Amino acid sequence: MSRGDEQAVLDRIRQGLIYTESEASFQAPQRRTDLIFEYNHTPPSDTARRESLLTAIFGSVGERAVVLPPFHAGFGSNVHIGDDFFGNVNLTFVDDVDIRIGDGVMIAPSVTLTTTGHPVHPARRVDYARFSEPIVIEDRVWIGSNAVILPGVRIGYGSVIGAGSVVSRDVPPMVVAVGTPCRVLRAITEADLTTRTPPA
């Protein structure tokens, strides 16, 4: 494939249009699957090696990031993580395009962030045809266990995504959103500062 052909595929990807596995095969060197395998088999006590591997795997990673193994990513290199990130076990990034995660984000076990979907009509799924749209998780978000974040979603500052939710649309800042499909349940308010605290 010529450089011009590669650019044409990248342009289609950026527009959220359909592309195939064969067309996107030139991106294979950006996959960090061997490094992810090594990370998932690195002893917990070898913190220096884990930090080094995260830096090599992700497109960018902030200070004090914690990712509990095992985690999985299609590329790894398209994931960008801010400071003070905590990702619990079985976190999956389907990162055919960028996943950008802000500071102070917490993700519970078995969460999937997928930038990629497939056409509804089977005739359009030949050669693993797909479309991809970036995901943005703003600062201080908490995502509950077994949630799925779908292509093109942006989750606003400070919001909480309930366990088991399927997030197919943007979520505004400072709300609790739950369900399948995920919907805003309520705003986060000053009253939430006093929950689960001992009586005075």
One pLDDT digit (tens) per residue for the chain, 200 residues: 677 789 999 999 999 999 999 999 999 999 999 999 999 999 999 999 999 999 999 999 999 999 999 999 999 999 999 999 999 999 999 999 999 999 999 999 999 999 999 999 999 999 999 999 999 999 999 999 999 999 999 999 999 999 999 999 999 999 999 999 999 999 999 999 999 888 77
Residue 25, domain CATH = 2.160.10.10
Looking at the annotation, which residues are catalytic?
A: 118
Whether residue 136 is contained in a domain is answered as: yes
Domain span including residue 11: 3-189
User: What is d(CA 1, CA 106) in angstroms, rounded to the nearest whole number?
Assistant: 41
Residue reference for tokens 């609790």: 176
Whether residue 196 is contained in a domain is answered as: no
Residue reference for tokens 């606003």: 156
User: What is d(CA 2, CA 183) in angstroms, rounded to the nearest whole number?
Assistant: 45
pLDDT at residue 163 in the model: 98
Cβ contact 27:10 at 8 Å: no
Whether residue 194 is contained in a domain is answered as: no
pLDDT at residue 2 in the model: 77
Whether residue 92 is contained in a domain is answered as: yes
User: What is d(CA 65, CA 189) in angstroms, rounded to the nearest whole number?
Assistant: 28
Whether residue 200 is contained in a domain is answered as: no
Would you give the distance in Å from CA 35 to the centre of its chain? 18
User: What is d(CA 34, CA 102) in angstroms, rounded to the nearest whole number?
Assistant: 26
DSSP run (H or E) holding 148? strand 148-149
pLDDT at residue 197 in the model: 86
Whether residue 195 is contained in a domain is answered as: no
Whether residue 95 is contained in a domain is answered as: yes
* Number of separate domains in the chain: 1
pLDDT at residue 1 in the model: 61
DSSP run (H or E) holding 54? helix 47-57
pLDDT at residue 4 in the model: 76
